[in-house]
Chains A and B, each alone.
Chain A
């Protein structure tokens, strides 16, 4: 069935370091992999997404890589800044033909100045 594991649950880095969050999934029919950032008191914000016909996508300091064979995808944040501190969620979609997303359990990222 649909399941996605996200690691680590917490991640502390120094400003300027890189951060990597990884998600693994089991449903090979999934073909849409978005990442969301949620700040305290706000709804999740879509920051980047990738589809199964693409292996990597980059947008300024953030990038997502997808390995469909191994069924895992990762979020990479370079040159982290304190404002990157938030909870990050990976998600799976596209396998039901509709808009349902299955979310990972979240990673709390703390960037220290």
Chain B
């Protein structure tokens, strides 16, 4: 069974640009959550998508957005990049059918903003 796939693995962007990251969950999983990991703030929840609908959102500015497609693949977008957006972005896949089900993470996308 294939795991969670995130692409690309690494990205370098310039301040002010926008970026799109992709996540393919485990086959059959309908929930995709996104997290930002930085040395200073640790792992912070961005948002969760289930069956193409955002059903939970963390405390991030509106520059961070996402969507989910009918095949459960998800993308997140960050517009008007700032230096502080440099981080490891992780997505987690779960069945999502009940609160607190097992979540499996991808390898992450390392975003560097210069």
Minimum CB–CB distance from B22 to chain A (whole Å) comes to 15
Q: Which of B6, B42, B48 contacts A98 (CB 8 A)?
A: B48
Q: How far is the CA of A89 from the CA of B96 in the complex (A)?
A: 21
Interfacial chain B residues near A32, Cβ < 8 Å: 99-100
B interface residue count range (under 10 / 10 to 19 / 20 to 34 / 35 or more): 20 to 34
Q: How far is the CA of A44 from the CA of B43 in the complex (A)?
A: 10
Interface residue? B74 (CB, 8 A):
no
Interface bits B15-57 vs A (CB < 8 Å: 1, else 0): 0000000000000000101010000001111001010000110
Contact, CB under 8 Å: A49 / B102 = yes
**For window 32-77 of chain A, which residues contact chain B by CB distance below 8 Å?**
32, 34, 36, 41-46, 49, 51
Take A100-B45, A102-B45, A106-B42 as given contacts and tell me if A31 and B105 are in contact as well, using a CB distance cutoff of 8 Å: no
Q: Which of A97, A104, A106 contacts B99 (CB 8 A)?
A: A97
Interface residue? B108 (CB, 8 A):
yes
Interfacial chain B residues near A36, Cβ < 8 Å: 105
Interface residue? A25 (CB, 8 A):
no
Interface centre among B50, B92, B94, B99 (most CB of A within 10 A): B99
Total interface residues on A, CB under 8 Å, equals 27
Interfacial chain A residues near B96, Cβ < 8 Å: 98-99
Q: How far is the CA of A32 from the CA of B102 in the complex (A)?
A: 9
Contact, CB under 8 Å: B105 / A98 = no
Interfacial chain A residues near B108, Cβ < 8 Å: 42-43
Contact, CB under 8 Å: A46 / B45 = no
Interfacial chain A residues near B99, Cβ < 8 Å: 31-32, 93-99
Q: How far is the CA of A106 from the CA of B41 in the complex (A)?
A: 11
Q: How far is the CA of A34 from the CA of B58 in the complex (A)?
A: 19
Interface residue? A88 (CB, 8 A):
no
Q: How far is the CA of A42 from the CA of B94 in the complex (A)?
A: 18
Taking Cβ atoms with an 8 Å cutoff, the residues of A that contact B are 31-32, 34, 36, 41-46, 49, 51, 89, 93-106
